[in-house]
Structure 1
Amino acid sequence: MYLTQGLHRSLQQNPDAPATIFGERVRSFREQAGRVSRLAAALRALGVTDGERVGILALNSDRYAEALLAVPWADGVLNPVNIRWSTAEIAYSLAECQTGILMVDDRFAPYVPALAQGHPGLKTVIHLGDGPAPDGMLGYEDLIAAHEPIPDARRGGDALLGVFYTGGTTGFPKGAMISHANLCVATLGAQAVTPSGLPGGRTLLAAPMFHMAALAAWYTQLAVGGTHVITPYFDPGEVIETIARHRVSYIMLVPTMIQMVLDHPLAAEHDLSCVRSVVYGASPISETLLRRAMKVFPRGGFVQAYGMTELAPIATMLTPRDHEEGTRLRSAGRAAAHTEVAVVGHDGRELTRGEVGEVVVRGGNVMLGYWNKPEETAAALRDGWMHTGDGGYMDEDGYLYIVDRIKDMIITGGENVYSAEVENVLAAHPAVAQCAVIGVPDPDWGERVHAVIVLQPGATASPEEIREHCKSLIAGYKAPRSCEFVEQLPMSAAGKILKRELRRPYWEEADRRVR
């Protein structure tokens, strides 16, 4: 299969049905296909062919959706950029995978000078915004108008679809290489367990489209035919009004977002019974929140999806029936139709049920590897299994429970943060002698980034100063939301910081050690 296949199918079967709704702008599949093929021609003229990378740095829009289709149509490879990263992080990711063409909207156009300085190989910038293209950039609409359609390259199968950057355990992002087959297998496997995308349905895209989870939601609806209703970013009030106005049938949000929707006063004023599927991930949902959500979305089947970017992104699913029974809400569900999931010990052998070990996943959804990182690829992909770095156990019925993280990672508001990356930045502050970064429970974000710091003799620093220092070098969501200053850090006999000792007072009253 290939990414653009769903567009061809809808063009054949429902050419005048709406493909995208963005604000007041509605485009049919006929219009979308014509624009995508012309944009692909423009990209081809700019040198995109045979796997050349094209970056997208933009808020959600119908143009973003067109770009996702046009790049593989031109035989190129996608590099969707994390919009929450600092310019230094973005420049690193663009440079590492040699992305020479970047699409930006009005929000991120001001980033371009700094990105060009950090990545001299950035040769072409395409402006996705509504106004005139800034100096030095090519206009998106101008390119479409200036080119004739070209045939779809139908890039697909095991060919590289995109390079999707995640946080790095060493402080540098890693580019997960996802093939067309990876995404197609994961999507169809999830659909086989419990359909989320409905033929002729409407999917709301409010989570950022650079994220693999949002891309999977987008592709699910594309594959079965239907409409994408797109908002630039997540805003709980706009989400509520958009769902009600356009009768959205499928939404994908993290529990933090669901909480914000339920807490918004508009939730009580609108009929949201049109929603048939509510997919969430990044953390389990509390029974209290679930009961509230089921009242607001009375016809919505709730699905928890556990996975990671490297798995395109789904490994296990907790189905609507599981949510209705309510006895396994702390579970991450069971293996989806396209995966094998196991819990293994240090020797790689599967453990007995109930025993805690590392979660590993095998299937056609497993990434090709990390871009230009053979050692990290070899560490993650062993004997056909993706080693997730998550600690967990499986019960007798095959339900997976995540209880710890073997890799030093925090999930806050649905975003992955590697402690090493934050610690590297903290260590650059002149007042910091030693530091450790951990995840602690947070009622709004699931976990929050927390720094434990030993100051240099005679030095002073405030939590606000520490946070601003970090935000100047890494994305704001990675910066510590809380800090504590201590005289010394707990150490093992080998001189290793004992993070479990730092975590214990925060998590000992929690019902699980990670969220």
Structure 2
Amino acid sequence: MYLTQGLHRAVQQRPGALATVCGERTRTHAESVDRIARLAGALRSLGVADGDRAAIVALNSDRYHEYLAATLWAGGVLVPVNSRWTVPEIADSLAEVGAQVLAVDDVFAPIVPALRQALPGLRSVVSIGDGPTPEGALAVEDLVSVSEPVDDVRRGGDDLAGVFYTGGTTGRAKGVMLSHRNLLTAIMGGAAVAEPRLESTYLHAAPMFHLADFAMWVTEVVAGGTHVTIPAFDPLAVLAAVQEHRVTDLLLVPTMLQLVVDHPRIDDFDLTSVRQVLYGASPMSDALLGRVMKTLPNARFMQAYGMTELAPSATILTAADHEDPRHRRSVGRAAYHTEVRVVGPDDAELPRGAVGEIVVRGGNVMLGYWNRPEATAAALRGGWMHTGDAGWMDDEGYVYLTDRLKDMIITGGENVYSVEVESTLAQHPAVATCAVIGVPDETWGERVHAVVVPVPGATPTLAELHDFCVERIAGFKIPKSVELVEALPLSAAGKVLKRELRKPYWEGHERAVH
């Protein structure tokens, strides 16, 4: 099993069918794979040998697709960078994995000098934008035009395919190592339920660096479908792309779906081509689900629950499950490629209905964290991935989330570890101590909320804290609300009782997390 396998099938079976659409630019499978083989040759000439890391920080595009595929074709390891990170966050992750080649588009070209200064081991920068090539960088079109196509290296199986960064409980992101087998196992398990079609047309509206969208990229590569890209999520751009390109498949978090179906121009567009909608990160309310179903009358809906470490899915709430109100509040049942349990502190399985930690086993479970053997051993103890999520399972195997054991907030589909935000806020001269929690938010599912104990005489405002954080952490991690308190509730051991802080916000909700 190797991730480029589908590219060969597509050229063999549907060479003239559409592979990519990016604005006015379209390419067939034959054209796209020829460019991928040539770009792979260029990457090899730049020193990308088997297992070497090639990173990318860019908005969605057809060239993003080509760079992903070419890196794998050349035998390299992908490192898709979170485009919402700050320069120090990007540099830290690339230094850790020893990335030697980096692709950037026009939006991120200005940060190249700072990254070069921070990363002396970075050998080459490839410009995949349409604008001027940054000084010292190589234009992707020049590389494709002068390079001869090379044979696919066909690394696969348990070989490392990519390092995908997720938040870290110690305030530093962790690189999740996923093999070809990990990713394809998860995709095949999902495909057994989703029934991917040769004529599928998928819209990359979610960021391509995110593993959820990357998994859909793999799905389309496997199925030989069409990749339509818009640079970033925008509800009007989604509506226009669906109509113009007859998009059949979408992946959007509920926040995005709400913005799409509530757009004032929704009735101006023909959305009848959509056949399948996959969502995750938070549940969809019955009211929103009803509006979405009315807007997309030919679509069936599936919810996936998982995490980056699971490549990324563990459970699936199928289209049929959505029709049963009993199951709609669950995150579904174990996917065909996984085994799921709810366990107690001793890792013994609990009786049905008892709340414990959700653990997962299967061929999709990560190889481990990059250069973090202790964190890897803790997460994978006993052969099970410990998700850090609390929940329970009913008699039919449906899993229900109740809380989060690890200190994480999911806002708009992005993971935010509160320790990282707290360590940043604690550097502000007006903050004596603080705690960061997730609270319900109609737009984002959860929002980052800071509870701050100020130094005597100080009254820091949300605006002040925002301005302080903006150059230190990514924008989605910055608190969207703040409250000042005299003291934080503490346990007998002196630990902040975050559950007490969260309780007034989550009363009346079925879950204490989204």
After TM superposition, the score normalised by the length of structure 2 is 0.99
One-letter amino acid matched to 2:102: L
- Deviation per CA, 1:165-220: give whole Å up to 9, x if none: 0011000000000001111000000111232x311211111100000000111111
- Distance (Å, rounded) in 2 between the aligned partners of 1:209 and 1:320: 25
Counterpart residue type for residue 453 of structure 1: V
State the shift of 1:222 in Å.
1.4
Give the aligned partner of residue 480 of structure 2: 481
Instruction: Tell me what 1:33 maps to.
Output: 33
Q: In the aligned structure 2, how far is the partner of 1:26 from the partner of 1:140?
A: 17
- The answer to whether structure 1 residue 166 and structure 2 residue 177 are counterparts is no
Say if 1:450 and 1:481, in contact at 8 Å, map to a contact too: yes
Offset at residue 132 of structure 1 (A): 3.0
Cα deviation code 1:212-236 (max 9, x no counterpart): 0001111112111211111111110
Mapping of residues 498-509 of structure 1, within 5 Å:
498-509=497-508
The one-character-per-residue Cα deviations of 1:25-81 (angstroms, maximum 9, x if unpaired) are: 110011111100110011000100110000000000000000110001111000000
Which position in structure 1 is the counterpart of 2:137?
137
Equivalences for residues 102-121 of structure 1 within 5 A:
102-121=102-121
Secondary structure of the structure 2 residue equivalent to 1:265: coil
Question: Does the residue aligned with 1:383 lie in a helix, a strand or coil?
Answer: helix
Query: In the alignment, what sits opposite 1:99?
Result: 99
Q: Which residue is 2:398 aligned to?
A: 399
Question: Which stretch of the first structure deviates more once superposed, 361-370 or 318-327?
Answer: 318-327
How many angstroms does 1:382 deviate by? 1.2
Give the letter for the 1:511 counterpart.
Answer: E
Structure 1 vs Structure 2 CA RMSD:
0.8
- Alpha-carbon separation, structure 2, partners of 1:454 and 1:415: 26
The CA distance in 1 between the partners of 2:62 and 2:256, in whole Å, is 22
Distance 2:266 2:401 in 1: 32
Identity of aligned residues (%): 62
- 1:14 matches 2:14: yes
Q: Quick one: distance in 2 between partners of 1:387 and 1:53?
A: 27
Q: How many equivalent pairs are there?
A: 514
User: Structure 1 residue 119: deviation in Å?
Assistant: 2.2
Partner of 2:267: 268
1:194 maps to a residue whose letter is A
Match of 1:462 in 2: 461
| Structure 1 residues 138-153: aligned runs within 5 Å | 138-153=138-153
Alignment of 1:294-373 (within 5 A): 294-373=293-372
Counterpart residue number, 2:415: 416
* 1:428-466 superposed Cα distances (whole Å, 9 cap, x missing partner): 111111100000000100000000011112233111111
The residue type paired with residue 345 of structure 1 is G
Unaligned runs of 5+ in 2: none
Structure 1 unaligned spans of 5+: none
Q: Given residue 309 of structure 1, which amino acid in structure 2 is its aligned partner?
A: T
Give, in whole Å, the separation in 2 of the partners of 1:193 and 1:335. 12
Is the Cα contact below 8 Å between 1:214 and 1:252 reproduced in 2? Answer: yes
TM-score (structure 1 length as normaliser): 0.99
CA distance, structure 2, for counterparts of residue 299 and residue 372 of structure 1: 46
The alpha-carbon deviation at position 155 of structure 1 amounts to: 1.2
Query: Is the 1:394–1:400 contact (alpha carbons within 8 Å) kept by the matching residues of 2?
Result: yes
Take 1:114 and 1:169, find their aligned partners in 2: how far apart are those partners? 27
> Aligned with 2:182: secondary structure?
helix
User: How far, CA to CA, are the matches of 2:101 and 2:137 in structure 1?
Assistant: 11
For residues 133 and 153 of structure 1, what CA distance do their matches in structure 2 show? Answer: 29
Question: Where does residue 122 of structure 2 map in the other structure?
Answer: 122
Residue 397 of structure 1 deviates from its aligned partner by 0.5
The amino acid that maps onto 1:96 is E
> 1:58: which partner in 2?
58
Aligned-residue offset at 1:326: 2.8
Query: CA–CA distance in 1 between the matches of 2:244 and 2:139?
Result: 31
Contact 1:286 1:329 in 2 (8 A): no
Partner-residue secondary structure (3-state), 2:340: strand
2:448 aligned counterpart, secondary structure = strand
Contact 1:302 1:319 in 2 (8 A): yes
State the Cα distance separating 1:383 from its structure 2 match.
1.4
Q: How many angstroms apart in 1 are the aligned matches of 2:117 and 2:346?
A: 46
